[in-house]
Amino acid sequence: MTNRRVYLNHLGFLGAIALGAFLRFWHLDLKPLWMDEVITAIFSLGKNYHDLPLDVVFPLNRIPDIFTFQPGVSCVQIANNIATQSTHPPLFFCGMYRWMEWMTLLGNDWVTKLRSLPALFGVAAIAAIYWVNCIAFSRTSGIIAALLMAVSPFAVYLSQEARHYTFPMFLITLSLLLIMQIQQDIVQNKMRFWRWFLWVLISIIGFYTHYFFILAFIAEIATLSLLIYWNKIQKNIAVLYLIISSTSVFICFIPWVLTTLYHAQRSETNWLPTTGFIAPFYQTLINLVLMTISLPVENQSLRIMIICGLLMLIFAIWAGLITFKGLKHLWLQDTTHFATFTLISFTSFILLQCFAIAYLSGKDITAIPRYSFVYYPGICSLLAASICHGQKTKINSEKQTLFFIFVGLLSSIFVVYNLSFQKPFMPEKVALNMNLEPSLPLMLVVTYENYQDVALGISFALALEKIRSQTSASDSFVALQKSPSLSAVWIKLSQLSVTIKSQLNLWIVAPGIRRRDYPQKLMLSGNDCTIDSKNYYRIGVPYQLYRCSNGTR
């Protein structure tokens, strides 16, 4: 490789990193926190659900005080909180706690701090996918893969979520990098212990980061098994390496196995939709499309939805034809056949497991686009290789790469401004609806059966406090438990101690109930509250306005 090519290669790699970092850290605090991010914040700050204000009236302007850092909390304590109150492995939350501890000196913008670590892992994944394709195909393919991930609306969306998706995605990419190296060792009749050791180490970390990492690990075992079977040389040694490595990972996860089984049975997993007959197939196709293009179709006018939907469909068909043609070419070339097989096998085995979970458990994980992070590195690598090596001329490859980058960049801008991959339950829209009369004091009530409902209510309260912080100091928030039934909420509401000077807007968020379940009249601290039938909304959950008065003018 000439000095000029080396220089251009380094420039392309650094450009991809810079572009990816800019998109991921751009307006990181623009979008409101949604329910899952509130949950992340609670555990990452060293707290748990018992630290939340439950069944008591809490001033709305003090909601941000809930998210203060709790010093002196160990990883063991965080793991215990996660084990008993969540449904995830603990490692990400321990890392987030240390990150928030280091960031305490950098001002009060805790939302940016909370999202900055996932954004950083999103940038690291770009570097990792570059090396995957460098090893598997070529440096040019590596640059294209890095650029595709840098501008991927799906990857940008995950990176701006204060959740544990980019960290396991980064680990899966690193793991895939080692699998590509091990694949080459198997083909070349070489066994390097340190590669297997690193694969085991990364896999152990992955197991304690996200349960879905297990799907990637099983897919890698299956892929390596096939590679070993078809390459007869030193077959026994390779099998021994695989058995020892995979067994070591599973043994290291034994301390958390009982907790994993407990988490699988918790009610917090019941929100997943039931599996339709063919739904997993077309939902997976949609998820694949969203990795490269995502135009505004959510909560838009019918005209915009049709136009954007058609553009996405046309682009998806074009991209699919390019990918199929490129993969066919890569498969038929001796120099790229095994690398292509490894990536296709890895991705296919993950998808098969996703379908198996959907159909056997009845919980359709393919309906949730963010869960596609498990196989996204494989898709990104294959797409880049198809563009780079599957075209007749270098000029065609460059034009297609530029078009993919343009479409991805435009889509990522929509993601950053919350026009695409919108936050679930849309806290900002809920807050705007509730703030219909800024001059009147307001009370937000959320009924809850579990702590997820509380986190949802707090996400609404955070968005509401942000737009009302300058207008009212008498606003309040309260979370009331629906136990033993919904009627208990109305009784608790009547017993609250709330001062109403003249009028008050009472908003009740009640997950799981129907519109007709809202009473026509309620009592709040002895004051009458009448339902306003014109101000009923449902965005995932219902919320209803009541107008309260103390009877004086």
Enclosing H/E stretch for 544: strand 541-549
**Phi and psi dihedrals of 458, rounded to 5?**
-65, -35
Beta bridge partner(s), residue 444: 477, 507
Q: Which two tokens stand for residue 198?
A: 């690193």
- The answer to whether the CB of 100 falls within 8 A of the CB of 17 is no
Of 118, 149, 155, 158, whose CA–CA distance to 131 is shortest? 149
Beta bridge partner(s), residue 536: 544
Residue with tokens 């570097």: 127
Distance CA 532, CA 521 (A): 10
At residue 549, the 3 state secondary structure works out as strand
Of 77, 76, 29, 88, whose CA–CA distance to 51 is shortest? 77
All residues at 6 or more sequence positions from 79 whose CB lies less than 8 Å from its CB, including other chains: 90, 94
Of 459, 476, 464, whose CA–CA distance to 438 is shortest? 464
pLDDT at 447: 94
The strand ranges marked E within 458-526 are: 476-481, 503-509, 521-524
- Beta strand 521-524 with 527-539 is antiparallel
pLDDT at 94: 96
DSSP string, 387-447: HHHSSSSHHHHHHHHHHHHHHHHHHHHHHHTTSSSPPTT-HHHHHHHHTS-TTS-EEEEEE
Q: Which DSSP category does 165 fall into?
A: S
Distance CA 146, CA 196 (A): 25
CA atoms within 13 A of residue 471's CA, in its CB half-sphere: 13
pLDDT at 553: 47
Enclosing H/E stretch for 381: helix 376-389
Q: Which two tokens stand for residue 360?
A: 């056997």
Of 36, 117, 40, whose CA–CA distance to 424 is shortest? 36
Mean pLDDT by 10 residues, the chain (553 residues): 75 95 95 94 94 92 91 94 93 96 79 95 98 94 96 97 96 97 88 93 97 97 92 77 95 95 85 89 96 94 94 96 93 92 97 96 93 97 90 76 96 96 93 92 93 94 88 85 88 87 91 91 89 93 92 57
- The answer to whether the CB of 358 falls within 8 A of the CB of 364 is yes
Distance of CA 63 to the CA centre of its chain: 24
Distance CA 493, CA 106 (A): 40
Q: Which DSSP category does 201 fall into?
A: H
Distance of CA 373 to the CA centre of its chain: 8
Distance CA 59, CA 245 (A): 54
CA Rg value for the chain: 26
Distance CA 460, CA 539 (A): 12
Residue with tokens 């960049």: 409
CA atoms within 13 A of residue 202's CA, in its CB half-sphere: 22
Task: Provide the 10 A C-beta neighbour count for residue 11.
Answer: 11
- CA–CA–CA angle 67, 115, 213 (5° rounding): 110
- CA–CA–CA angle 393, 408, 15 (5° rounding): 75
